[in-house]
Copies of this chain bind each other. A is one copy, B any other.
Amino acid sequence: MNTKERKEKERERKQRMILDAAKNLFIREGFDNVSMRRIALAAGYSPAAIYRYFSNKREILSHLREEGFRAFHVRQKQYDQSLEPVKLLRQAGRGYLRFAMEHPDDFHLMFCTTCEEVDLEGELAAESLRVFEHFRSMVVRIVKSGYFGDVDEEAAVFGLWAGVQGLANLVTSGRMQVLSDRDVDELLESTLNFLRR
């Protein structure tokens, strides 16, 4: 029905308001320093009302992270066409940096918010796992191609992940800085060279 659809829309709109309020607060003050009461207040609700939309505080964070990962994944899949491994890695790295630059808040929530609080199992972590799996399979392919020489797969996955994270941190820690495409490429290239040493 039209009414049913409208209700669904309405519900999503309100979820959105809560998520936005929470995101804003989490980023500015940190997960632990934000209470449900304050999220509710900021979203224009009573504390209890929040629980109609999210079953607890952690779930709000999970939702936000998941949203970030979903957006991230969409972008990363765009680069999937290339079959040449190194080219693919370059593309993925570029995508990673761009995402960090264009969505610094999501990035912060996805990677910097204290992780103990987040449920890494369960439906809401699915997207983040998918992202990591996507990354892993890509790296494995490259390792198998011999590009990094004789290196342990696990080590390569971890090392590259850390490196890419570091790069992105480098970008987001100075948030106002806007880097041109060429800048990103150069930065990426020099890092890849370094990691390949």
Contact = CB atoms under 8 A, between A and B. Distances in A.
B167 A166 contact: yes
Contacts of A158: 174
Contact of A197 (B33, B183, B193): B183
Interface residues of A, number: 29
A173 interface: yes
A177 B163 CA distance: 11
Contact of A174 (B30, B161, B169, B190): B161
16 contacts: A30-B32, A32-B33, A33-B116, A33-B117, A159-B177, A162-B173, A162-B177, A163-B174, A165-B169, A166-B166, A166-B169, A169-B169, A169-B170, A190-B191, A190-B193, A190-B194
Interface of A: 29-30, 32-33, 114, 116-117, 158-159, 161-163, 165-167, 169-171, 173-174, 177, 183, 186-187, 190-191, 193-194, 197
